[in-house]
Amino acid sequence: MKCTRCRAKAEVQLRPHNSAFCRPCYLFYFRRQVERAIAGERMFTPAERLVVAVSGGKDSLALWDVLAELGYDTTGLYLGLGIGTYSELSHAKVVAFAAQRRLRLRVVALEDEAAGLAVPAVAALTRRPPCSACGTMKRHYFDTAALAGGFDVLVTGHNLDDEAARLLGNVLRWQKDHLARQRPVLPATHPKFVRKVKPLYLVSEYETAVYAFMRGIDYIVDECPNAAGASQLLYKDVLNRLEATSPGTKLAFVKEFLRAAQPAFARVERDEPTECESCGMPAYGSLCAFCRLVREVGTKASPVVADAPA
């Protein structure tokens, strides 16, 4: 098998694209995919300051690596979720990655922000799925860190597999609000929000894994232990089976949704956010989702004091 670009011996085959690449050409191809997404969707410019949400996994570290190589002004943001050994290991991977490349890194540990805010504790107290609690807290701390740091854009490493699985879940339940917001660029809808972008939205998980391997990026391989049984993993498995039979299914699913359907959902009017009475961040009610969660944790964590006997 020969490289599609230079005809040298290929090291990786991409069936959805009917192509194969040697190592130098694959690295060029991957960076070009990211560059095209940034330019095609007008995600950001070289003059803007980017905060990159990094988890220690292959996608976010590969993306940060590419953006740094392309010369963008980046700062990594790691959110410690308090998930025991998994969080300790992912934190170490991110710190080592940033140190090796002399990149700026900010670290926020949930357990240091307030007592009982580590993901396992929140999930146990509220009886919510861990991924639900985790998502609510991630969004809040990413938004507040971006605002506090004066950044212009929040960049996340969501890849094609993530977007296809999310789309499948939203379509199965016809979650119109979620479908309206599912796009690679989310403009700021409030002065306290920054633009959110996903430069890897058309790059598969396999492609980022290959890039990370070829670049020698040391990332955490294990899946989050709290993700066991998550719907997202089921949707990914279904899509992977379709992809194995019909390469390019995931790419076509996401691209055609964005081209043909998403604009119709986006036209649905939605109320403008106000400000949370507790934290001051944007909210669609008196309290934002994060502060409602924190209040619920506080209520359920407080011991019930029985009435004293007469």
pTM: 0.92
Contact 60, 219 (CB under 8 A): no
Domain-embedded: residue 61: yes
Residue 20 has pLDDT above 70, yes or no: yes
Cα–Cα–Cα angle for 85, 91, 96, nearest 5°? Answer: 125
The beta-carbon contacts of 172-176 under 8 Å, at least 24 apart in sequence, are: 176/265, 176/268
pLDDT value, residue 116: 63
pLDDT tens-place string over residues 84-101: 899 999 999 999 999 999
Domain-embedded: residue 149: yes
CA-CA-CA-CA dihedral for 19, 25, 23, 207, to nearest 10: -50
Domain count, the chain: 1
Q: Domain of 62?
A: 42-273
Query: Residue 82 gets which letter from DSSP?
Result: -
pLDDT tens-place string over residues 132-169: 888 888 999 999 999 999 999 999 999 999 999 999 99
Domain-embedded: residue 48: yes
pLDDT value, residue 155: 98
Q: What is the mean pLDDT of residues 13-25?
A: 97
Domain-embedded: residue 227: yes
Joined tokens for residue 25:
């050409």
What CATH number is attached to the domain comprising 234? 3.40.50.620
Domain-embedded: residue 207: yes
Q: Tell me the range of 58-67, 137-146, 221-230 where mean pLDDT is highest.
A: 58-67
Mean pLDDT (the chain, rounded): 92
Domain-embedded: residue 18: no
Burial class (CB in 10 A: 0-12, 13-18, 19+), 148: exposed
